[in-house]
Amino acid sequence: MDTDSIYQDYANFIYRYLLSLTKSNQAAEELTQETFYQAIKSIDNFNDNGKAKFSTWLCSIAKNVWLQELNKEKKRNQLAKLIRNKNEYSYNLEEEFFNNEDKISFFKQAHQLSHKNREILYLRLLGDLSFKEIGSIFGETENWARVTFYRAKQQIRKGDITNGS
């Protein structure tokens, strides 16, 4: 099969199929190109024994290309969301714990916490671990880590540090 004639014969059909899936001219154009690239790469896999039409085979490739693009987009969106949330969360932690206090004062107070509370505070703030991860380290629940962290934070805020290491 001649690749130019394949493209000429089926490009508009595949484009319209992808347009119905994507609802976007630009996406349909890009995916049409990718579909034909994949089809040409695997043209030897098309079994022309009369059971399947060539257009059906192209549509299955187009659908797979579209699904792959959806997965990529989903992953990009998740990554962007994680980055946004991490930046917002990091800013809130920094503001909450270092607001109107210098770092040396904070660490002096943190050093006077019990070993367990100090370690949880450090794992959370410096290690950037989730409460679930911290709970796992201590063989406890996520909620236990959250409550212990909160109590340590409150001790520092109130200056109520009576548990030495």
Q: Is the pTM of this model over 0.85?
A: no
Structure tokens at 26: 């630009």
Structurally, at CATH architecture level, domain 102-165 sits in Orthogonal Bundle (1.10)
Unique residue bearing structure tokens 């909160």: 150
Tell me the per-residue pLDDT of 25-50, one tens digit each, with 9 for 90 and over: 999 999 999 998 998 888 877 766 55
Is a pLDDT exceeding 60 seen at residue 165?
Answer: no
Tell me the per-residue pLDDT of 44-84, one tens digit each, with 9 for 90 and over: 777 665 567 888 889 889 999 999 998 888 888 887 777 77
Residue 158 to residue 69: CA distance in whole angstroms: 52
Q: Is 7 exposed, middle or buried (0-12, 13-18, 19+ CB in 10 A)?
A: middle
Residue ranges per structural domain of the chain: 3-82, 102-165
Domain 3-82 = CATH 1.10.1740: yes
Is a pLDDT exceeding 70 seen at residue 124?
Answer: yes
